Amino acid sequence: MTPVIPSRGARVIPSKARDRDRPDRGPSTRRTAIPRLTARDDRRLRFVALSALLSLGCHRDTQPPRVEIGQPAPRYAATTLAGDSVSTGALAGKVVLLNVWATWCAPCRAEIPYLQSVYEKHRAEGLEIVGVSVDARGQDEAIRSFAQEFRMTYPIWRDPDERVQSVYMALGVPSTYLIDRTGVLRWRRLGAIHESDTTFTSALTAALASK
């Protein structure tokens, strides 16, 4: 093979220098498939992100209300099936059992008949049960049919945006919160309430006895 002789004035660059001067192409830019999130995964990610923002206070001077037993319960507002504005603040002086539910929730179906019996037994003592439905928009008729089927006579509030989940740090449905006459959170349960749950009946009896 005949060697290549550079012309006069040409600059010969050693092979090592050529290799050194070449731009680094870096790792492969081949794209990898990103798995799609399920609705449950998306809800969990939103909850985690919201929790992080709340823990940081969103860089505001005021701190978000704490959802802790013995602390004032967070104020919460919604609408009724008729479209009227309602809030927990308007229930001051009553013992409030705030129950978050949905028509598609199987544990809710098992729990609601018991809640209805508790309401009928203690309503005269100042108990107000509020069922907060987080069913999607356009499901009002389904909610009414559900309430008729289960003979629900306590108030039903609507929250299709699921704001109650962030206000009360609820991880899902059902979730229940017992608030005394002074607005203090006395008991909570993430999950269904059962008739054999003595922690609930004890907390309810104490709240009703307090004037």
Q: What is the mean pLDDT of residues 135-150?
A: 98
Q: What pLDDT digit, counting tens, does each position of 85-123 carry?
A: 999 999 999 999 999 999 999 999 999 999 999 999 999
**Mean pLDDT score across all residues of the chain:** 82
Alpha-carbon gap, residue 75 to 179, rounded angstroms: 11
Report the percent of the chain where pLDDT is more than 70.
Answer: 69
Q: What pLDDT digit, counting tens, does each position of 56-72 carry?
A: 333 344 455 679 999 99
Alpha-carbon gap, residue 77 to 79, rounded angstroms: 7
pLDDT of residue 62: 46
CATH superfamily name and code, 67-209: Glutaredoxin (3.40.30.10)
Alpha helices in the chain (DSSP H): 15-21, 39-56, 106-122, 140-149, 163-167, 198-209
Q: What is the pTM of this model?
A: 0.70
Q: Where are the domains of the chain?
A: 67-209
Alpha-carbon gap, residue 127 to 117, rounded angstroms: 12
Q: Identify which has the larger pLDDT, 50 or 124.
A: 124
Helix (H, G, I), strand (E, B) or coil at 9: coil
Q: How far is CA 160 from CA 73, 137, 138, 157, 209, in A?
A: 21, 6, 9, 10, 34
Residue 210 pLDDT > 70, yes or no? yes
Q: What is the mean pLDDT of residues 42-53?
A: 53
Alpha-carbon gap, residue 38 to 10, rounded angstroms: 63
Q: What is the mean pLDDT of residues 163-189?
A: 96
Helix (H, G, I), strand (E, B) or coil at 112: helix
